[in-house]
Amino acid sequence: MAVGIVIVSHSARLAEGVAELAGQMSMGEVTIAVAGGTDDGSIGTSIDKVAAALQKASSPDGTLVLLDLGSAVMITEMALEMLDAQEKERVIISTAPLVEGAVLAAVEASAGSTLQEVAEAANNGHDMPKGHQA
């Protein structure tokens, strides 16, 4: 088994795209669940979608959650409150950038790394260059 990954975004299409990219980079070896948009398909977040994604990606090895912005953090924290204490202990909410963090986390998880190692790999996304420096 591997660490599971949850992608929480205000946009369903964004969440699915990030999951698709990360999934390809990990060669499908990692469960990546998405919670994007509201229940009616609008831009926003949904506690029910986050709870379902947490359930889908749940792993004995742990689950890493990556988010886009704002209320995604609050909604994810509320969804975590619905879990029992043992499940909560196996979830880390990452502060990593969404795309870079998801790709790095998926690759690290596919190598069989621990939850802490996967979270640290995701955080390395903060340091990834995005252009040429003069």
Active site residues: 10
Compute the distance between CA of residue 56 and CA of residue 1 in angstroms, rounded to an integer. Answer: 13
Compute the distance between CA of residue 44 and CA of residue 28 in angstroms, rounded to an integer. Answer: 27
